[in-house]
Amino acid sequence: MMAAWLVLLAGFFEVVWACAMKLFLGFTARLPPVMTVVGGIASILLPAPTGPGMIGAALCAALFFRERFLLPRLVRVLLIVTGITGLKFLTKKG
């Protein structure tokens, strides 16, 4: 159960740094660069797959930055998630 919380927490920090990076505005604001650095370091230090963060960043871009989420982008996101899931199931443990 703890591993699931770590995955969600790492995914959250990946979304934080990816979304904060879009708010940089040439370092004129102070909070976005700090959020980017803190989120990036936290997402690196937490051992988790990239799937939740990638999905969250794509949703953040569509919801908060009004980027268009058309079928080609959806297909590419699903292909990445499928690839990550496939590698997870095919990787031998031990």
Specify the pLDDT at position 50: 67
53, 43 Cβ separation under 8 angstroms: yes
Helix (H) or strand (E) holding 63: helix 51-64
35, 17 Cβ separation under 8 angstroms: yes
What are the per-10-residue average pLDDT scores of the chain (94 residues)? Answer: 74 87 80 89 77 82 86 88 82 70
Specify the pLDDT at position 94: 56
